[in-house]
Amino acid sequence: MIEKFLVPELDKEYLALKLNNIRYPSEYEGPSVGWKCGTPAWAVKDMIEAWKTTYSWETSRAEINSWHHYKTLIHGLNIHFIHETSADPKATAIILIHGWPSTFYEFHKMIEPLRDQAFHVVVPSLPGYGFSDPPKRPGEGTTAQFSEIMHKLMTELGYNKYMVYGTDWGATIGQQMSQNNPAHALGFITNMPAIFPPLPTLSNILHYPLQVSKFLLSLVVGSGKVYGPEAAALETFTFANVDVNQDAAYRAIQSARPYTLAFGLTDSPVGLLGWMLEPYHAWTYHPSEEAIHSLPDTVTTDEFLTQVTLYWMTNTMASSYRIYHEFVAEMKTIKPFKFTVPFAVSYFKKEAVKFPREWLEISITNLIQLKNHDKGGHFPALEQTDLLLEDILEFRSTLETNSKKKDI
């Protein structure tokens, strides 16, 4: 049963008690370290000061509660979601799926523009995030299970056909959701596709010998030299091998030892903020390489603090990143496959890993849109809202055109 929901008030007194009794860690001296060791104290102190003095949760809460919120029970979990319907009878249903360390609020600048452009907009909180219940038993928090929940949500709302946009974990979840329900998924769009390289399987050797040869060569001389400079990140990308890629450090600890880290992030709003600030600094696009600012101009302090406040008030940081732990086991069962649902990719400048087009075309049999933007990063809904909206609208237009051609 679907029930209405209102975002509750914040326990301001408890948060103030925590923020007024802070002990900061010891750090290296001198400015040369920058962000190399993680979030520096100066960046945290600036954000804490803003959280205490200028940030207004009530302002953010009023904006959030201006949308229609609901909860519904799916697979034993109460799932929170926003549902904004268009007045257009021919509107297209679309689900926007966030990832980590984010919440439904990542899409706050997209909800109304999409609704006003003839979309029925559904924005869920993933299980264990925000106001959705967390899975309680090992093995229950996988991307495959989350994709089933997201599909069930859309059908429960009466949407037999829908589009999917996913980012970060939402990309993996949305991709599975679309592929596993091809009769329902009109198309899938993401800034972070999950595909396999042209491995030297018998099928690939027979059908894509040149691509397999180039891939094997890239393992010897480097991806950047074979596929161009934007592919150089593929040379060191790993899920959790810090010896090869220090940027995988957060994935390593969240996947291997999620409990130990959780105490500090659950009890300390300062620890929580510091842990979240690093990816919001490192994964966003800064026109200058100088590390003077924590956030780019495209993400406001209030937007970031709203995300942090949502994690704090719902006590969901520990449950949100258990998906990393579950994914380690899930990876062992995932095998290369062809993605057949209409697919669109929007790459933004600071996205960590960008696969070569030929990899995409081998894994995706229905790649109908590929955009490369010279700005923006891992959170395009916040950083480059207009560009992402344009890509979604163009994707829908192409889907509609292709559908009409089939009917002729």
pLDDT at position 239: 84
111 and 184: one domain?
Answer: yes
Q: Residue 235: pLDDT above 90?
A: no
Q: How far, rounded to the nearest angstrom, does the alpha carbon of residue 312 sit from its chain's CA centroid? A: 19
d(CA 407, CA 248): 47
- Domain for residue 107, yes or no? yes
Residue 297 lies in a domain: yes
Residues 70 and 171 in one domain: yes
Domain assignment of residue 29, yes or no: no
Q: How confident is the model at residue 29 (pLDDT cuts 50, 70, 90)?
A: confident
Looking at the structure, tell me whether residues 176 and 229 fall in a common domain: no
Q: What is the pLDDT of residues 99-134, one digit of tens each?
A: 999 999 999 999 999 999 999 999 999 999 999 999
- Whether the model clears a pTM of 0.85, i.e. scores above it, the answer is yes
Rounded to the nearest 10 degrees, what angle do helices 301-314 and 57-64 cross at? 80
Q: Are residues 217 and 338 in the same domain?
A: no
Last residue of a domain, one of 235, 256, 282: 235
pLDDT of residue 408: 66
Model confidence over 158-193: pLDDT tens digits?
999 999 999 999 999 999 999 999 999 999 999 999
Question: Domain check: are 231 and 268 in the same one?
Answer: no
The pLDDT confidence band at residue 33, using thresholds 50, 70 and 90, is confident
| Pair 137, 178 in one domain | yes
Same domain, 81 and 208: no
- Please check whether residue 88 lies inside any domain of the structure: yes
Please give the backbone phi and psi of residue 94, each rounded to the nearest 5 degrees, phi first: -140, 140
What stretches of 63-218 adopt beta strand conformation (E)? 69-74, 77-84, 92-97, 119-124, 162-166, 185-190
**Are 210 and 273 within one domain?**
no
CA pair distance 283, 114, nearest whole angstrom:
25
Q: Is residue 222 included in any domain, yes or no?
A: yes
Half-sphere exposure of residue 239: CA atoms within 13 angstroms, side-chain side: 15
How many structural domains does the chain have? 2
Are the beta carbons of 82 and 102 closer than 8 angstroms? no
Q: 231: domain range?
A: 202-235
Give me the pLDDT at residue 291, please.
53
Q: Give, for 188, the enclosing helix (H) or strand (E).
A: strand 185-190
Task: Classify residue 25: in a domain, yes or no.
Answer: no
Task: Quickly tell me which residue has 């051609």 as its tokens.
Answer: 405
Residue 284 and residue 340 in one domain = yes
Q: Same domain, yes or no, for 251 and 229?
A: no
Which one of 214, 235, 256 terminates a domain?
A: 235
105: domain CATH number? 3.40.50.1820
- Does some domain include residue 128? yes
11 with 55, same domain: the answer is yes
Is the distance from CB of 134 to CB of 128 less than 8 angstroms? Answer: yes
36 pLDDT band, cuts 50/70/90, is confident
pLDDT tens for 323-333 read 999 999 898 88
Answer yes or no: is 398 within a domain. yes
Same domain, 267 and 365: yes
